[in-house]
Every structure is written in C-alpha cells, then in structure tokens.
Amino acid sequence: MELIGVDVASVRQVKVFFERSIQLVDTLIHETEGLPLLAPGWIDLQVNGFAGADYCSPVTSHEQIAISIRAQFAAGTTRLFPTVITGPPEDMVGALRNLARAKGSLPEGRAMEGFHVEGPHISPDDGPRGAHPREWVRKPDIDEYRRWQDAAEGAVKLVTVSPEWPGITAYIEALVSEGVVVSIGHTKANSEQIAAASAAGATMSTHLGNGAHADIDHHSNYILDQLADDRLAAGFIADGIHLSPSFLKVALRSKGVERSILVTDAVIPAGCQPGLYRLGTQDVELRDGNRVTLAGTDRLAGSALRMDRGIEHLIQVGGISLPWAIAMATRNPARAGRVSSRQRGIAVGDRADFVEFQYDPERNSLTIERTWLDGEPVYTRT
C-alpha cells in the first residue's frame, strides 16, 4: 500500500509505502498541488466512553463498544486507552473484563491499546475528587491492582492515583516495575508527596488543571507543583470548558509543548444528543454546548470532546502551531503512554496508523478524509 501527502511534522511532500508498519518514506521529487495533510493517527489516553457506550460498565455490549470506536475513527483517533473510573470493586473488575473480551474479539478491538484505571485511589475531598463517587474512593491495594490485571488480561497500562495516601510510593514502585504508567490526578497532595511520587516513578499528570479545590493557595499548590516538575508529562482537556484560555496558555508554556498531551476525557454522551445518560454508577447530563455534568448539578463529569476538535482548540486558544498540536495528539501520548512503534511520527518501522485530512487556517478547522489502522482504512469521509 502507499499514501501520498504532506507530512505535517516535516512539511515535506512524501510517498509512504506500508503494510501493517511503515516500510519506506520517500520525498517527492516534483511537488504536487492539492495533496492532503498526513499525520500519524491520534492517540487518546483517557476516554471513558463515546457514542453511547460506557466503558465503565461491565454490561456494555460489544456492539456498542465497536460503534463507539468507529465513531472515534471518524475523528482521526486510531489508538485509545478506554478508561474505567472509581466504582464498586466488582464493577471495575467487570468493566475491565468486558473491555478485554471486546479487545480480543472485535475487529475494532485492536485500537484499544491498553486500559486506563482512573481511581479509586484518589482524594475523597470535594473538588479534587471531581465526579468520582465518594463512597467508592479507597486506599491503594496491590491485591486489587492484581485483580484488575487478571480481568484485563494484563492490558492495564495506565493508573491514576493521588500521592496523598500512606504507602503510595511502594504502590507506585510496584506498578512501574511491571511497566505500568502511573499518573497523578484527583489529588490534594502537598509538594513533598508529589515530589516523592515522581521519585517513585510517576511520570504523568491526569487532566491537569481539573479535579481541584475551588480555592487553593495562589503560590503553593498541587497544580503548580506538577507544572513545575519536569519529570511529569501532563494531559489537558482542550474543549473550551474544562480549562480557561489563560490557564491553557500558561500551562503549555510552563510544562512545555513537548511534555503536553491532548486528552478528551470523553464519556458516554460524546457524539450524542443532549439528554441524560448513565456513567458507571451515576447519571450524567449532556447539555447544550457539549457540557457534561452530574445530573442535577453544575459539576463537570467528563467531556463530549473529539480529538480533532481538541486539536483545533489547541491552535486557536492555546496559541500553538498545527505541527505542535498534532504532536500533542500523536507522538507525545505515545511516549507518555509507552505505546510501542508509534513514538517517532511517520517513520520506517512505526505502525501504519495514519490520518489524511484537510486544514483550513482561516476557519481553523480540520476535515478528516481517511483514517488508517495497522495499514487498513477504517474510515473514509463520504
């Protein structure tokens, strides 16, 4: 197979030869007008559900999961980490088991690169806890982690924890020793606890800037501590709802775009009509303007963001270039999430996951033309 387009990272017109992986990348001798832009497929490290499928539920049908993945293909996403949030132990294990079976049986399942467990070892406080149900927050338990991995057939690749818990450094060290990425999130940890978590091997911050107290110290707090720690890459929900323009700009400048990651934190109503939906053990509401809240409240409960819309927002509001925004959706999450053969861009040996798209700089809009997964077209715009 071959593709011809403009490599967004190098701005070269290239012909890419591939099977399941990239065999050759050749620069065109003669420039051609009207070629599509070409980039690696997007990678979303935090997606709780999409298009009516709840990844946190142990009874979500595999048909619903397949539909949700195809909907993400249409947005340019080729690899995702389905995310299971804080809930009853049996529900979390059941959700992971259900996802693992879908991963192994569905044609679309190979897009599920690994699973992200967000909680339950997070802060119980209002604010840092976010929309996670308080009654199921609990202390770190390595035996519980083993049950997750058993149910997930070893596919738990990312775990979000709060470093405020006693014994957390040993827990982090144990997970990291098995190749699991540990991320700091939903926390009220102090500076020493965050530094200790980084020293123990934590390498990410989960949706930094969200899941926090309404009032925090202006000069010393867990958001600034994570921004200042160069050992931590950071995920950002760039939907225009979760983060103010000023915070997004300052955070990108502080963390550095090379350590910044676009995530959706999408939940079940993403891509659906406004209304009530079930997320894990709680009801959520998709309101006009793509705002998702716990039903009957103004508390955010995930997002309805698509990755392509997030890239647009990074450019328009974050003030970064198209190539850097694409890096935040491709190489950066691949490196932070340890996604093998996806960390160099369009390069020989990397997997043949591509997005062909058009970009209108006047309107700051992306139009996905085709999406490829493992060398096969999985979406074509009609």
Residue in 225, 239, 265, 353 annotated catalytic:
265
360: annotated active-site residue? no
Task: Report the 3 state secondary structure along the chain.
Answer: CEEEEEECCCCEEEEEEECCEEEEEEECCCCCCCCCEEEECEEEEEECEECCEECCCCCCCHHHHHHHHHHHHCCCEEEEEEEEECCCHHHHHHHHHHHHHHHHHCHHHHHECCEEEECCCCCCCCCCCCCCCHHHCCCCCHHHHHHHHHHCCCCEEEEEECCCCCCHHHHHHHHHHCCCEEEECCCCCCHHHHHHHHHHCCCEECCCCCCCCCCCCCCCCHHHHHHHCCCCEEEEECCCCCCCHHHHHHHHHHHCHHHEEEECCECCCCCCCCEEEEECCEEEEEECCCEEEECCCCCECCECCCHHHHHHHHHHCCCCCHHHHHHHHCHHHHHHCCCCCCCCCCCCCCECCEEEEEEECCCCEEEEEEEEECCEEEEECC
Distance CA 204, CA 337 (A): 9
Catalytic residues: 265
